[in-house]
Amino acid sequence: MHLRSFGYCSPVIRRYFDCGPRERVRRALVFLMIFAVAYVPGAVTLAMLLSGAE
């Protein structure tokens, strides 16, 4: 956050989002889905464990 306020952006992130607006949205959705597929079911099962649901 501190670095970004000085205009810093990771070169990796910059490379992946260096494209047109529609493609940028598509890529953002792909990253979101990769994350969601891995972590949303994990989060749900963690919630089940913590709440003691059977």
Taking CB under 8 A as the criterion, which residues in 20-39 touch other proteins? Answer: 27, 30-31, 33-34, 37-39
* Gap between the Cα atoms of 27 and 51, Å rounded: 35
Q: Angle CA(1)–CA(30)–CA(16) in degrees, nearest 5?
A: 55
Cβ-based nearer residue to other proteins, 2 or 54: 54
Cβ-based nearer residue to other proteins, 7 or 20: 20
* Gap between the Cα atoms of 30 and 13, Å rounded: 14
Binding site for other proteins (CB under 8 A): 16, 27, 30-31, 33-34, 37-39, 41-49, 51, 53-54
